[in-house]
Structure 1
Amino acid sequence: MLERTKNIKGRGAQKNVHNRFLQDTHETRSDFLEYCHKEGEEADKNKTQYINTFPKTIVNKVQSPDVGMEYSLNPYQGCEHGCIYCYARVTHEYWGFSAGLDFERKILVKRNAAELLEEKIKKKNWQACPIILSGNTDCYQPVEKELEITRSLLKVFLKYKHPVGIITKNALILRDLDLLKELAKDNLVSVNISITSLSEETRRVLEPRTATIKKRLETVQTLAENGIPVNVMLAPIIPSINSHEILPMAKKVAELGATSIGYTIVRLNGAIGEIFSDWIHKTMPDKAEKVLNQIASCHGGTLNDSRYGNRMRGEGKIAEQIHNLIKLARLKYFKNKKTPKLNRTLHEKYKSGQYSLF
């Protein structure tokens, strides 16, 4: 049984950590907390703030050689899902915020995302290449239900017959099933659903504001039944938290129609090491040191591993065991399954927004 002693309800991180790019620090003093207690006031209202931004570009060239994508697009920066392990937390520091609570509570919204995408893929020198939604933060996080920025992006991809990949852990993607089915007719879309556990209790502590495991499994099944290729990311694998679930998870998603699985071993880059360590000592105090030591054993003795090729696959005995379990799962449950490559051939004819006769 997981022991939960969190202070801040519905959040992954339990504090803000110092932004490495800023000289000044922010500290919540004990005398201030005492004052709030005596006055019956809330020291922290724990509200999410949405900040409108209007970038000049939206499609990012991915330079990292080991992430499996060439271009990404993120309609939101920061993510209210609050996954404690999320590697994208450190990118919030570039915006002047903390990788801790700020990442979950200060969400940057790119209102002009669809216009920028359309402008990009209509350029004469642009050659169709799959653009991945959510290379950094989830494009179907809670605010998408109201803003529908991701839906507007899918309409652009469909209009110009351009290939698109999606990474999400939110069942909200099924709202856009009509567009996904149209894209799938021409093999223009694939979806990656992230499933970290089959245990709802584990999900709640690792990913507090994500869709339930039941809904995510139903999402895999619904997408597959509608002819949309689904890869399931068993990610991240965290030793002694979900590493024992690899085979059961693989079996379940294969039965529901997933065409493949991928995985990563958790890596606590930058400020995430401090955030995760604080979280696990409050959430799972009895096993905190065991988990942290096992994570470190997968990354050369440190929680922070940025080496390309090693950072997501790990090394050492535990990493080797995880790799062998994934290999066995693929052999046992996905032997005759294959995810088709996305179609790059149609876009050139549709760059004007309509089919060319010549």
Structure 2
Amino acid sequence: MDYEKRTWLYLKNEFFWVGDSKNETLHIGLISDNQAGVRAFMGILHSLVNLPASYPSQYLTRSSAKVFPHYLIHVGDAVQSYDSLDEWQTEFADPLSYAWSSGQGNSPPPILYAHGNHDQDINSRYIYTTGERQGKNWFSTTLGAAHLVVLDSQPLAQAETQLDWLRRETHMEAWMQASFRIAIVHIAPFIEYWDPRAWEELGEKYWGNYVRTKLVPILMDSGVDLIISGHQHIYSRGWMSNEVGKELIKDEFDISMNSSDKRQRVRVIANSWKQNRVLQGKDNLTYYIDHLQKGAMMTVIGGAGGELDSKQVEDWGFYEKTVLGQHHFAMITLNNEESRLIWRAYDTNSQLIDKFDLIR
């Protein structure tokens, strides 16, 4: 090489690494189910990008001024037709690029993606959401104070393979030593709102059985703190104690709203816990995990653009907050110094619709 004639190249734009400091406060944006709802999705992304203006200032760090949020988690169903390159371009990539270029940065942050029911790819031909994982749509990662498992709610022929992987993963040091353990899976294990005909006549009420009866038991036995799902196009949030969970995750549990003796027993257990409040702070929005009673927070955030659900088809008895008729997104802030996970959910206009804190 002729070193006298070498050419220096300079980057036009700079970017910032998140960093792996345990004292770093990380912000993670959460979206799901934006398929075929480009206009609403654009509104969601605009609000998300501009959220620092209204976010609690004590949780904004120097890195927040450079990139906010640091990561995105997408809980599946970004497009209606998984094999349509046009949809991936116009309904997903373009809105993301436009939102960030018109906001604070040149490109979106790294995205963790969970496979949805519209993301089925039996022949593993596409890598939009799997990267180089050879068709395995599940993985784990550590972000700041949290260890996350991202799961496939419909792994088809690989159902047992994923279960074996999850059992091993939840015995790894990264999971066991994390301040917060989070699971991301598209189809919610406990859906309450759906199209009644599709639910009953088309059998779609059984779509979540694998998640509810196979994945959730492993997660709860392993001390999961937060399970985040989409699929249902409304916002739901509720604490499920292990005692309640043991009833709801049984294989033989009959899904038929308000008609099961087991469901009534679940309500009694859930109401007893609500009256006791041993886990919660005085504001009923702070949950002290790993304290007295065990359990996990269940959230459903399928409101980033798709047509919203409005008909109730089930009543599981443990959800404490339900928001109908509003597209929405969520933000997680991980504050390792305080061992605190801060959850805030917003509508398209950046108005707060729900919040809770998990403290270990």
What TM-score, normalized to structure 1?
0.34
Which one has a larger percent helix, Structure 1 or Structure 2? Answer: 1
What TM-score, normalized to structure 2?
0.34
Larger relative contact order (CA 8 Å, sep ≥ 6): 2
